[in-house]
Amino acid sequence: MEILGFVWNNVVPFLFVLTILVFAHELGHYWVARRCGVRVEVFSVGFGPELVGWNDRAGTRWKISAVPLGGYVKMFGEGDAVEEEGGERPLTDEEKQVSFVHKSVGRRAAIVVAGPLANFLLAIVLLAGLFGIAGSPRLLPVVGSVQEGSAAAAAGLQAGDRIVSVAGEATAWFDDLRRIVAEHPGMPIRLVYARGDVERTTTATPRTTTIADSAGIRREIGLLGVTADPGEVGYMRYNPVVAAWKSIETTVAMSGRILGYLGQIVVGARPADEVGGPLRIAQMSAEMAAGGLVSLVNFMAILSINLGLINLFPIPMLDGGHLVFFLTEAIRGRPLNQRAQEYGFRFGLILVFLLMIFATWNDLIYHFKVLDLFRQLIT
């Protein structure tokens, strides 16, 4: 029973999340390939022996395979010949019309980039659903800490106080508090706050500080000297149009943060042991599933963005590596020779394999602390 409980609580959430993300990615490749006139022979969720499958009208074999750790789309005509029982034969003119390698560079690039784009689109859809149904998480105007010697300390504010209004304007969210205070540098403002069940009033004079925006323009703002309580979170629902736009903004911003984070690791500004692999993803999937549907869907959106970005890296074996080959072909007017492409894919395979080993090592050593557990067993 304990094993069944472990599988249900840990393995099932991980496989559920992974299957959704991989299906969306491969569906992107499949959909654009069909729009470009390429025959798709196989659409597989998972690897290995087929468990169940069926053929559609276009001749594609849809199947669920035994090893649910990924998936693939196999397109017709990945070379200039077709394998048959008696050996290989050249493609006919009709077969070239539906062959992937005989499509233009632009169409092949569109098919390849469609996978990562599908992951970004999935993230946008998931986030839009969250913003429209559950709402977007926002910090409530509750004081988490008060800086010593600040305007808030002089006004008598304490951790746990809930700010009701500032300068006569209601504060529904902590961002409202921050904005209003910033608009009153050095000016006394009236604060209404609740401490427990008692509502109180005080006056604070925000400290003046000078900041520069992205254009280098300097301006003065007011600072109260408080931080938000991270445990005090509310949810704001949006109408479908606003929810869709907010989800796009969030996806773009999150992509930028992920790339910045990876860049910091590359230059050594952040420790590389923060990188997680499949075991960490499985652990977090279980934790998010235990936290409820909202947490799980939000985690899926973040993972989908990660998957889309990683596949765009210019590494052979990944979609980004294919795009580099296509760009080279477009510039040269002809594709790289077969040997160069083969060496490139071998290098990419080795690099991806080493990255997987590195991420799994981080999972075992830093996240699951396997060495510490081993030491406890032998001492």
Exposed, middle or buried by CB within 10 Å (0-12, 13-18, 19+), for 263?
A: exposed
- pLDDT, mean of residues 289-316: 87
Spatial distance between the Cα atoms of 156 and 158, rounded to a whole number of angstroms: 7
Question: Residue 159 pLDDT > 90, yes or no?
Answer: yes
- pLDDT, mean of residues 64-76: 89
Tell me which residue of 276, 270, 265 sits closest to 366, measured CA to CA. 276
229 domain residue, yes or no:
yes
Question: Residue 161 pLDDT > 70, yes or no?
Answer: yes
161 domain residue, yes or no:
yes
Question: Hey, is 130 helix, strand or coil?
Answer: helix
Q: Give the least confident one: 250-259, 353-362, 364-373.
A: 364-373
- pLDDT, mean of residues 182-197: 94
- Residue 40 — very low, low, confident or very high, per pLDDT cuts 50/70/90? very high
Q: CATH code at 186?
A: 2.30.42.10
How many structural domains is the chain composed of?
1
The catalytically annotated residue of 26, 84, 85, 274 is 26
207 and 147 Cβ atoms separated by less than 8 Å:
no
Question: Residue 2 pLDDT > 80, yes or no?
Answer: no
Percent of the chain at pLDDT exceeding 90: 49
332 domain residue, yes or no:
no
59 and 42 Cβ atoms separated by less than 8 Å:
no
Q: What is the DSSP letter of 142?
A: B
- Mind listing the pLDDT tens digit for each residue in 238-287? 999 999 999 999 999 989 988 888 788 777 777 766 666 676 777 777 77
Residue identified by tokens 């003119």 is 93
Helical segments of the chain, H only:
2-6, 12-35, 93-97, 105-129, 151-154, 174-182, 240-266, 278-290, 293-311, 319-332, 338-362, 370-378
Spatial distance between the Cα atoms of 374 and 376, rounded to a whole number of angstroms: 5
Spatial distance between the Cα atoms of 225 and 149, rounded to a whole number of angstroms: 8
The range of the structural domain enclosing residue 167 comes to 138-235
- Mind listing the pLDDT tens digit for each residue in 9-27? 667 888 888 899 999 999 9
271 domain residue, yes or no:
no
Question: Residue 372 pLDDT > 90, yes or no?
Answer: no
219 domain residue, yes or no:
yes
- Within 13 Å of residue 318, how many CA atoms lie on the same side as its CB? 19
260 domain residue, yes or no:
no
Cα distances (angstroms) measured from residue 332 to each of 326, 335, 345: 10, 7, 20
167 domain residue, yes or no:
yes
Sort strands 162-166 and 143-146 into parallel, antiparallel or unpaired: unpaired
224 domain residue, yes or no:
yes
Q: Give the least confident one: 33-37, 66-70, 78-82.
A: 78-82
Spatial distance between the Cα atoms of 339 and 115, rounded to a whole number of angstroms: 26
Is residue 95 part of the annotated active site? The answer reads no
Residue 87 has a pLDDT of: 61
